[in-house]
């Protein structure tokens, strides 16, 4: 970090091998809402800022009205973001497949995406599928966190009422 600097780095979680981008002249006294707007402008997309989820140190910055400093963000830190994937729901049909699930490793911040995930799949089978499709180790002690809660390996995903575009953290 450069003394007296005012910048944060932002990096998407939904693209592998992405490079962080610097938001210059961006003090951590800015609100989360301001950060989301800056990310929207930076990615040059017509995505509205409300459709972006931001994460720092494995915690979602979930209050748009709080400053980044409330979440212990310091100048020069990297904040991850993901565009929420909101598909139009089928008319009154029970959803039994998640279109997209995003993953981030708490160890090395690597990220992965799985599509068409059945909600009746167990957490352990989800872990095995992620390992098989993405070539990552299926280590015995690894587990997933969602919203800070650990997902039990024997539970089905539908127990947690996950939606499309959810972010799960892999912790070894």
CATH number at residue 62: 3.10.20.90
To the nearest whole percent, how much of the chain has pLDDT over 90? 27
Closest CA to 53 of 25, 27, 79: 79
pLDDT in tens, 44-86: 665 566 678 888 887 888 888 999 999 999 999 999 888 765 5
Tokens 């800070």 belong to residue: 148
User: 170: pLDDT confidence band, cut at 50, 70 and 90?
Assistant: confident
pLDDT in tens, 23-48: 999 999 999 999 988 888 877 665 56
Residue 131 lies in a domain: yes
pTM above 0.75, yes or no: no
Domain boundary among 32, 49, 83: 83
Q: Which helix (H) or strand (E) holds 169?
A: strand 166-171
The whole-angstrom separation of Cα 69 and Cα 80 is 15
Tell me, yes or no, whether 78 and 50 share the same domain: yes
Tell me, yes or no, whether 56 and 102 share the same domain: no
Domain boundary among 83, 112, 136: 83
Q: Catalogue the E-assigned strands of 7-147.
A: 7-12, 21-24, 52-56, 59-60, 78-83, 97-105, 111-118, 143-146
Residue 153 contacts residue 124 (beta carbons within 8 Å) = yes
Tell me, yes or no, whether 74 and 132 share the same domain: no
Provide the residue range defining the domain that includes 124: 97-171
Residue 80 contacts residue 13 (beta carbons within 8 Å) = yes
């Amino acid at each position: 970090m450069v003394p007296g600097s005012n910048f944060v780095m932002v990096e998407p979680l939904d693209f592998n091998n992405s490079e962080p981008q610097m938001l210059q002249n961006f003090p951590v006294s800015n609100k989360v809402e301001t950060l989301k707007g800056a990310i929207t402008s930076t990615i040059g997309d017509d995505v509205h800022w409300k459709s972006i989820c931001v994460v720092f140190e494995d915690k979602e910055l979930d209050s748009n009205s709080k400053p980044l400093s409330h979440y212990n963000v310091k100048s020069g830190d990297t904040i991850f973001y993901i565009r929420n994937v909101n598909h139009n729901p089928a008319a009154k049909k029970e959803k039994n497949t998640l279109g997209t699930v995003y993953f981030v490793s708490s160890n090395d911040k690597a990220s992965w995406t799985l599509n068409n995930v059945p909600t009746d799949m167990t957490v352990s089978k989800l872990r095995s599928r992620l390992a098989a499709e993405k070539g990552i180790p299926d280590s015995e002690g690894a587990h997933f966190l969602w919203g800070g809660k650990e997902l039990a390996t024997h539970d089905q995903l539908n127990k947690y009422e996950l939606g499309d575009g959810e972010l799960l953290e892999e912790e070894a």
